[in-house]
Structure 1
Amino acid sequence: MEKKNEEQIYVQDGDREAGVVLDVPPASFWGRLLQKIELKSNVENGRRSNPDLDPVPPEGRHWTARHYALFWISDNVSVSGFRTASSIMDVGLSWRMALLCVALANLLAGMIVTLNGLVGADYHIPFSIQARASYGYYLSYLMILMRCIVGIFWYGIQTYTGAECVQSMLYALWPSFRNVPNTLPKSANITTQFMTAYVIYFVTMLPFHYVGIHKVKWLFLLKTVATFIVGFGLMGWMISSVGVSNTALFSQGNTVHGSAFRWVFLNSFYSNLGGFTTLMVNAPDYSRYAARRRSTYTTLFAVPFTATLVTFMGVVVAAGSKVKYGQILWDPLQVVDQWTSPGGRAAAFFCALSFYFSQLGLNIAANSLASANDMNAIWPKYINLRRGQFIAAFIGAWVLTPWNILTSAPAFLNFMSGYSIWLSPLCGILVCDYFIVHRQKYDVNELYRFGGIYNYKWGCNWRAFLAFTIAWVPLLPGFIPTVSSGITASSGLTHLYDLGFFYAFGTSILSYAVICYFFPAKETYVETAVYPDDVKSSDDIGDISSEGYADKRSSE
C-alpha cells in the first residue's frame, strides 16, 4: 500500500469505531490544532443527538387528526383567549371588526403552522434539527437559542396567569383568603396572598413536566372539554342574567375611520399573529409524532375556529359585566370572583379550576416543551425533554421574576409582543428552504452528522443569514419607539412596522429563494429524499462512519 503524506487519527466512540483522516502535514501546527479541536468536538458529542432528538420511530407516531385538533384548540381556549378582543376594541375597533381581525389572523397562523409542520410529519424531526438544513450546523444554534429564550420568558408570564387561576380558587374555597395580610415590602411587586397562589400553582404544575409527550395529549383533551363547558356556561349565564343584545359594548362602532382605521386594523392583525410566531417556528416539535401526514391538516380549521369562538365568548361576558357589575370585566376570573354566595363560590371554584388546566396545557404546549426541545438540541449530551422542561420552569418562573416584569416593565412586554420581527423571518426561511429550495428533499442522515452536507462553510449558511437580515433590519426603527418612549419614528417607518409580520415573513421567503437561485448550495441538494424509515436504526443516523471512514481504515 502506498504510504500517504498525512497523519491519520482514529478514535473510539462508544461501541462504534470512527476513523477521521486529518489531511494536514505534520509540520502545520495550527492546522493540526484546528483539526484536533474539530475531531474532539465531533467525538465528544457523537451524533450530537439523543433519543428525544432522534427521529420519532414508527411505534411513537400515534398522534391522529383528533389529537392535533385538541392540541390547537386547547391553546386558544384559555384565559388569554377571553381577553383577546379587549386590546383590539381599546384601540378603536368595534366588536365585529375585532372578531374579523382575530379570525383572519388565526386563519393565516393556522396555514403557516400547518405548512411548517409538514417537515416534522414527513421526517419526524423537531424544529432544532430542521433548522440545520437551512441555517447550517452552527448558525442554527443562534436561531434555536433565540426561540428558547422567548419561550422561557413567556413561560414565566403564563405562570403568573396560572397563579391568578389558583387565587380565584382560593377565594372560592376560603373567602377570608382575600384578607390575608401582606408581609412583603412594596418593592417586591407581589403580595403574600398572590405569592401563596403562585407557589401552589408552580408546585402542582411541576409533575406534568415529568409526563412524556405521548401522555400529555390527554391533558389537552381534558383542558378542551372542561374549558369549553365553562366558556359556554359563562356566556349562557350572562345572557340569561342581564341580556346583552342591547348593551353599549355591542352597539359600539368603530371610533377610528379612514386611513387611521386601516392602520389600526393592520396593527391589531399583526399583534394577533405575533403571539403565534413561536408556535409557527416550532410546529415540527409536535407534528413529528403524526401517524400520517394528513393528520396535521386539522390545524387549518381548529386554530381559526376556536380562536374566533372564544373571542366571541369574551365579548359577550364583558358586555354583560358592564350591566351587572357596572364595569367591563374582560377577564373571566374577575367575573367569577364576584360570586360570593355559597352556591356561587362552588361554581367559581370549578370555573377557576378549568381555567387552571387551560393555563397549564397552554404553558406546556407553547413554552416548556418547546424550550426543552431547544435546549435538548444545544446540549444533547446533558439535557433531554424532561430535564429541559424543569430547567425552563425554574428559570422562567423564579429567576426571571415575572411579577416584576408585569408590574414595572411595560416596555419589556412591548418587546415580547414585537419579537415576531425576528421569529417570522426565521420561520419564513424554514418554509422556503423546505418547499422551494430543497423541494421537500432532505437527507435525514446528514442532518444529524457533524460536518455533513448541511454544515455549509464554517457551519453557517450565509444565504439564510443574509435573507434573515434583510427581513428584520428595516423593521427595527419602527420597533424601537415601542420600547423606548423617548424615541420617535416617522409615520412611514411606523406603518412598515405595523406590517411587520407580512414584510418579514414575505421578504425572508423571497430574498432567500432569489439568493439560493443565483448562489445555490449544490452540495446540500439530494436527488432522492432519505427518510428515517430508510435508515436501519437510529444508531445509524448521523454515524460518523457513514462517510466510509471505517471502510477506508480497513482498506489501508
Structure 2
Amino acid sequence: MTSSTAHEIHHNSGEATSRWKDFAKRLECPVDEDGGYVNDRWTNRDLIPIPPDRRTYKIWSFVIYWFVSGACISAYSTGSSLLAYGLTAQQTMACVVTGAIITGMLSVVSGTPGEVHHIGFTVVSRITWGLRGGYFPVILRTFTSIWWFGIQSYWGGMAVALVLGGLSPSFKHMRNTIPESSHITIQNLIGVIIWYILYIPLLLVPPERLQRPFVVSSIAFAATLIGLLAWAVPKAGGGGPLFRTENTASSTPYSMMLGITSILSSWGAGTIGQSDWVRYSQRRYYPMLSQLVAAPLMITMCALVGVVVTSASYQILGTLYWSPIELLGAIQEHYNSSPGVRAAVVFAGIGCTCAQLSINVLLNSVSTGMDMAGLWPKYINIRRGAYILAALGLASNPWQILASASTFLSVISFLGVFTAPMTGLLLADYLVVRRHRVKIPDLYNGTPSSIYWYWRGLHWRALVAFVGTVWIFWPGFIMTMKNPKASNGWVKLFNISFLVGLGAGFVAFLAICAISPPPHYKEGDSFLDDDFVMTTSQ
C-alpha cells in the first residue's frame, strides 16, 4: 500500500467519522436558550425541575385531569370485575367509593415531590434508588405501560370502528377477510389505524398545553355517559336486575377488600406518577382539591354509571355488556340501524374515541415518555419517548393479548405487584426519612460526589426493602399461574397485593433506615426556589 493510498483511506475514514458525529449531534434533544443545562446522561429539558414559565396548570386543570383519568372506559367497566367476586351492586359501589377516596389521598402524598420540587417520578426515583438504581423502577413502569398502551389503543380503534359502523351499516357488517386466529376483524383493524392517525398529532402538544384538548375530551365522554343513562334507565324502568342480586360472596370482608384493592390497582400507576403532572402546577396546593374531591367523585360517578347502565341494558337487551363500545354496537343492532339510533351511536362513539385518546396521553404517553427520557436523556425527550411507546404498543398485538387467556393477565397483575412497594418506598423516603429535603443539583450529578450515588449508583436499602416486600407475593402468583381457580392464603395475599405491598414497602424501608440511616439524608432544601437555575450537569 502506497503512502498516498493510506492517506486517502485515513482521510475518508475521518470524513465518515465527522459525518456520523454531525448526524448524532442533529439527533440530540433541543436545549432551551439560557436554560442553564446541557443534555447528557442525566439531564434534558423534560427532566429538570419545571421553571415558573412552564407551570401552567391551575385548579381547573387538575379537575379536568381527573375527569379524563376517572371517567374513561376502564372506570366504566370496573363494576364487572367487582360483581364477579360475588358482591351485590350496592357492595360494589361501596368498594368503588372507598377505593376512590384512598386513591385521592394517595395521589396527594405521591404528588408532593412534584408540587414542592417540580420534578417527576423519573427523577424522584433517583432519590430513593440512586442515580443508577433509579433505572429499575423506570424500566419496570415503561415495560408495563407498553402493554397497557396497546390495550387502550385497541379499545380506541374499536371506538373508531363503532363510529364508522354508525355512519355506514355496510361497514359494520362488512365480511371479515382476516383469519379468525388473528383475533381482530377488518373493521377493528381499520379503526386502530385511524385512531393512531388521530393520536399522533396529540403528541406534538407539550404537556403544559394539553388542558384544552382534555376539556374537549371530557365534554364528549360526559355526553356519552349521560346519553346512555338517559336511554337505559327510563327504558328499563329503573336500575335493572343487578341491583336486586343477593350477595353470593363466600367471604364478604375479604371480597370487599379485594374489590377495594382492584380500584387502587387500576389507578396505581396514576398515583405513583402524580409528580409527572403536579410539577406543572402554578402554585402549591392547586392539585390538592382535585386529588381529594375530583378524583374520588369522577371515579365513583363513572363506575356507578357503568353498573347502572349495564344492569338496565341487561333487562332491555338480555345480554350483559360491560364495555360501552360493545353496548353501543348492540344498541344499533337492537334498533335495526335506524337513522336516529345510528346518529346517537356515532356521537357516543366519538365520545369513547376522545376518552381513549386522552387517557393514553394522560396515563401512558407523557409519563412513559419521561421515563424513556430518563434512560437516554441526550437523545430522548417526552415526545420522542411517546412515539417509541406508540410503536411498541402497536407491535405488542393487543388484540392477541385480550384474546389470550388468563396467563397473560396474571403476569400483568404480577407486574402491578411491583408498583405498590415502589410507592411505599418513595413515600417513606421522601416524606418521613428526608422530610421533603432534596439536594436538586445532585440528582443530575452522576459521580460519586453526589449524595445520591450511594454504592456505585445503587441504594442498597431500597433494594433490600423492595425484595423483602415483593417475595411474599411470589407463592400466590405461581399458584395462580398453575391454576387460575386456586384459592388459599397465598393466593388471597397475592390478590390484595396493592394494599399489603404499599404498607409493607413503607414499613420495611423505614425499619432499614432506622437501623442504618442513609448518608447525608438531612441535606437539601425542603422546597424549590423559583430563582433556582439548573447549572450542575456532569
State the TM-score, normalized to the length of structure 2: 0.88
> Does the alignment pair 1:204 with 2:204?
no
**Count of aligned pairs:** 494
Residues 323-344 of structure 1, C-alpha deviation per residue, up to 9 Å, x if partnerless? 2212222222233222321011
Give the whole-Å Cα distance in 1 for the aligned partners of 2:495 and 2:175: 45
Shift in Å, 1:239: 1.9
Once residues 110 and 252 of structure 1 are traced to their aligned partners in structure 2, the CA distance between those partners, rounded to angstroms, is: 30
Shift of 1:532: 5.1
Q: Structure 1 300/327 Cα, relative in aligned 2: closer, same or farther at 3 Å?
A: same
Residue 422 of structure 1 corresponds to 418
Task: State the distance in 1 between where 2:482 and 2:187 align.
Answer: 33
Of 393, 398, 402, the match for 2:398: 402
CA distance in structure 1 between the partners assigned to 2:152 and 2:481 by the alignment: 21
Report the Cα offset of residue 534 of structure 1: 4.9
Separation of aligned partners in 2, 1:291 and 1:215: 13
Within the candidate set 297, 319, 326, 1:305 is matched to 297
Any residues of structure 2 matched to 1:59-74 within 5 Å, and which?
Answer: 59-74=53-68
What is the letter of the counterpart of residue 449 of structure 1? N
- The correspondence for 1:223, drawn from 217, 225, 245, is 217
Describe the SS at the equivalent of 1:380.
coil
Contact 1:118–1:293 (8 Å) recurs in 2: no
| Residue ranges of structure 1 left out of the alignment (5+ in a row) | 1-42, 545-556
2:277 aligned to which of 263, 286, 294: 286
**Residue range with higher mean Cα deviation, 225-234 or 338-347:** 225-234
Q: Structure 2 CA distance, aligned partners of 1:256 and 1:470?
A: 32
CA contact under 8 A between 1:443 and 1:530: conserved in structure 2?
A: no
Q: 1:168 to 1:528 in 2, by over 3 A?
A: closer
Are the equivalent residues in 2 in contact too, given 1:110–1:300 (CA < 8 A)?
Answer: yes
Relative distance call for 1:494 and 1:408 in structure 2 (3 A) is: closer
The secondary structure found in structure 2 opposite 1:240 is helix
Given that 2:163 and 2:345 are in contact with CA atoms closer than 8 Å, whether structure 1 keeps it comes out as: yes
1:386 aligns to what?
383
Displacement of 1:350 in angstroms is 0.4
In the alignment, structure 1 residue 145 sits paired with structure 2 residue 142 = no
Hey, what does 1:253 align to over in structure 2? 246
Q: In the alignment, does 2:171 pair up with 1:180?
A: no
In structure 1, distance between residues paired with 2:254 and 2:167: 46
Kindly state the Cα deviation for residue 267 of structure 1 after the two structures are TM-superposed: 1.8
CA RMSD of aligned residues (A): 1.9
CA positional deviation for 1:117: 0.4
Detail structure 1 runs of 4+ shifted over 6 Å in the superposition: none
The answer on 1:363 being equivalent to 2:360 is yes
**Is the CA contact (8 Å cut-off) linking 1:61 and 1:288 kept in structure 2?**
yes
Structure 2 gaps, min length 5:
1-36
Q: Supply the distance in 2 between the matched residues of 1:316 and 1:528 (Cα, whole angstroms).
A: 50
Separation in 1 of the partners of 2:196 and 2:40?
36
Does 2:109 correspond to 1:109?
no
Q: Distance in 1 between matches of 2:128 and 2:510?
A: 11
* Aligned residue runs from structure 1 range 130-169, under 5 A: 130-169=124-163
CA–CA distance in structure 1, aligned partners of residues 319 and 179 of structure 2: 30
Where 1:533 maps in the other structure, the secondary structure is coil
C-alpha spacing 1:218/1:44, structure 2 compared with 1 (3 Å): closer
Corresponding residue for residue 448 of structure 1: 444
Task: Choose from 497, 500, 517 the match for 1:503.
Answer: 500
Identical positions, percent: 30
Q: Which of residues 422, 437, 440 in structure 1 aligns to 2:433?
A: 437
Shift of 1:212: 1.1
1:96 offset after TM fit, Å? 0.6
Instruction: Kindly provide the amino acid, as one letter, of the partner of residue 371 in structure 1.
Output: T
Post-superposition CA distance 1:468-500 (Å, at most 9, x none): 1111111111122333338957x2212222331
1:83-94 map, 5 Å: 83-94=77-88
Match of 1:329 in 2: 321
In structure 2, distance between residues paired with 1:157 and 1:334: 15
Distance in 1, Cα, partners of 2:520 & 2:77: 49
1:262 counterpart = 2:258: no
Corresponding residue for residue 350 of structure 2: 353
CA contact (8 A) 2:281 2:287 kept: yes
Q: Which residue of 1 aligns with 2:237?
A: 243
How far apart in 2 are the matches of 1:236 and 1:334?
18
Distance 2:149 2:518 in 1: 38
User: How far apart, CA to CA, are the structure 1 residues paired with 2:273 and 2:374?
Assistant: 13
The alpha-carbon deviation at position 384 of structure 1 amounts to: 0.8
Distance 2:326 2:178 in 1: 24
Matched to 2:77, the amino acid is R
Q: Is the 8 A contact 1:480 1:487 kept in 2?
A: no
Deviation per CA, 1:376-424: give whole Å up to 9, x if none. 0110011011111110001012x21111111124311222234232111
1:271 pairs with one of 255, 262, 266: 262
CA distance in 1, matches of 2:41, 2:132: 14
Mapped partners of 2:76, 2:271: distance in 1: 22
Partner residue in 2 for 1:458? 456
Partner in structure 1 of residue 491 of structure 2: 494
State the match for 1:411 in structure 2.
407
CA contact (8 A) 1:244 1:250 kept: no
